Amino acid sequence: MKVFLYLLLSINLYFTNMLTAQVVPQVFEDKVYVANRGSGSVTVWDTVTKLTQTIPGFLNPTRLVLNPDGKRLYVIDDFSLYIINTETKSFTVIKKIDFPKSKPFFESSGRPSDLAITPDGKFVYVNVTTLRNRSQGGIIDVAVLNTETNIIEKFTAIDTDIDTLKSKGIVVTQKDLNEEFYDVYVAYENINNSFKRSLITLIETKTNSQTTFTTRNVIGDSLAATVDGLKILGGTTDFERHISNKLAIIEKNGSGLIEEPIKFYAQYFAPSHVSQKTFATALGNKFFMINTSEPRVSVKEFSFRGQSAYGIALNHDENKLYIVDLSGNKVFIYDVVGDIVVLDQTTPSFNVENQPIGIVIGPSSSSPKVVVLPPNHLKVKVIENRFLTQTDLVVRLTWKPSPDPTVIIYNVFRNDELIGTVLADSKLEFDDHNRQEGKTYTYKIEALITDDQVSKPISITIKT
């Protein structure tokens, strides 16, 4: 009998240990990737083991992106695009695309400046200068890479006769993940001394149309989109002295490009995917948090422990902020709690190789693995309910359900504050009462299965 009880206890302990043991992370999980321009390499840092690995073989890598599941890394070099398999420990190169070869009618080499992946992960857009003369710029072509076939399907030329252009940042938004239509914002500048200016062209793939916005200032190296995709951000400064710094903002359905004065020349951005905040760097000993939830943006300033803050990225849980130190060859890691960045003398960091530029963060092994599909077709209407002595101004929200049948509830947010919930099996409508006339409100709806299984939000902004 004792032998039987001992055997039963051993079996129970064995299965208990199996259930409580940590799941071994997959190769592509818990990784930070940093492009080192000066050493022709990409540093891979493991957030759990704290060990680094180097991917060699580049010339001057600068910018990189991951597909949404973290299994493919895309890196731009001097005249090439690399596709890297992050599911193998050796991080093997699947394909190298040389732009002169992939587009034979280039008159000279194609130099990429930035790249962006579509939210659904199906395409990578690359902003390329087709060089006529290296000192005088060229024309702008946007390469479109199919991430399933790893083939550049087409090049979209910016519609202009000017051939003294230099490509800069690029960002892509997508209104509905169920439809392969994208808004691609492409930044570039005219480097002709007589016509110096910067431009951002919106390419709408649904209509195959282009709209161009112009500023007489020089634009920074990257663009960013807010969580709802309704604002596109870029840093600008004057061409001559670089002291008149502004934030360029393009609002969808707005009146074009506006520039708001700020205290820094923004170069790189790390936008939140859950709120209207965006972190930014300006190649100095400070970094910044931009809040776009109100009509006029506000900025918080933070001290950087390194020398030259450059590339910047938030992890998927948005509780860690990674900032590249270009001069110090390090990456510093800051804790983030809401709008608070923890600054102390024990800020952790890890070493990288020479002249680090771009940075991107892979998925975490501790993050929820269930992908919850978001709701769609969010609409808004303002209703005035007049009574004898007062008027109730109501913002009514309606939306279509998530395609996921396991969703049980929808959370409703106003300006990033939870204001209500709607059961999934009820009428998908929410009335926000007692709003003020002339105010701007941003609403978000997210689908929820459990507390840690939540979809990305859909958003809409309205002025009452």
pLDDT tens-digit readout, 12-47: 434 434 333 345 678 889 999 999 999 999 999 999
- Calculate mean pLDDT across residues 187-193: 90
- Calculate mean pLDDT across residues 128-136: 73
The reported pLDDT for the residue numbered 356 is 98
The reported pLDDT for the residue numbered 2 is 41
Among 74-78, 316-320, 328-332, the minimum mean pLDDT is found in: 316-320
- Calculate mean pLDDT across residues 71-76: 98
Under a CB-based contact definition with an 8 Å cutoff, are residues 236 and 249 in contact? no
Among 134-138, 300-304, 374-378, 390-394, the minimum mean pLDDT is found in: 134-138
Residue with tokens 């609409």: 379
5 three-class SS: helix
The reported pLDDT for the residue numbered 182 is 97
* Domains in the chain, CATH or no CATH each: 31-361 (2.130.10.10), 376-463 (2.60.40.10)
The reported pLDDT for the residue numbered 367 is 55
251-302 per-position pLDDT tens digit: 987 778 999 999 999 999 999 998 999 999 998 999 999 999 888 899 999 9
- Name the more confident of 154 and 104: 154
- Check whether 60 has a pLDDT greater than 70: yes
Neighbours of 390 (CB within 10 A): 9
Locate 447 and state its tokens. 């689908």
The reported pLDDT for the residue numbered 24 is 62
4 three-class SS: helix
Instruction: Enumerate the β-bridge partners of residue 130.
Output: 110, 139
Distances (CA, A) of 183 to 180, 229, 230, 374, 379: 10, 9, 11, 19, 20
Neighbours of 270 (CB within 10 A): 23
Proportion of the chain above pLDDT 90, given as a percent? 69
Residue 203's nearest CA partner among 218, 214, 187 is 187
Separation between Cα atoms, residue 21 and residue 35, nearest integer Å: 34
Mean pLDDT, the chain, as a whole number? Answer: 88
- Residue at 236: amino acid letter: T
Instruction: Enumerate the β-bridge partners of residue 219.
Output: 236
The reported pLDDT for the residue numbered 184 is 98
293 three-class SS: coil
- Check whether 242 has a pLDDT greater than 50: yes
Buried b (16+ CB within 10 A) or exposed e, 285-315: eebbbbbbbeeebeeeebebbbeebbbbbbb
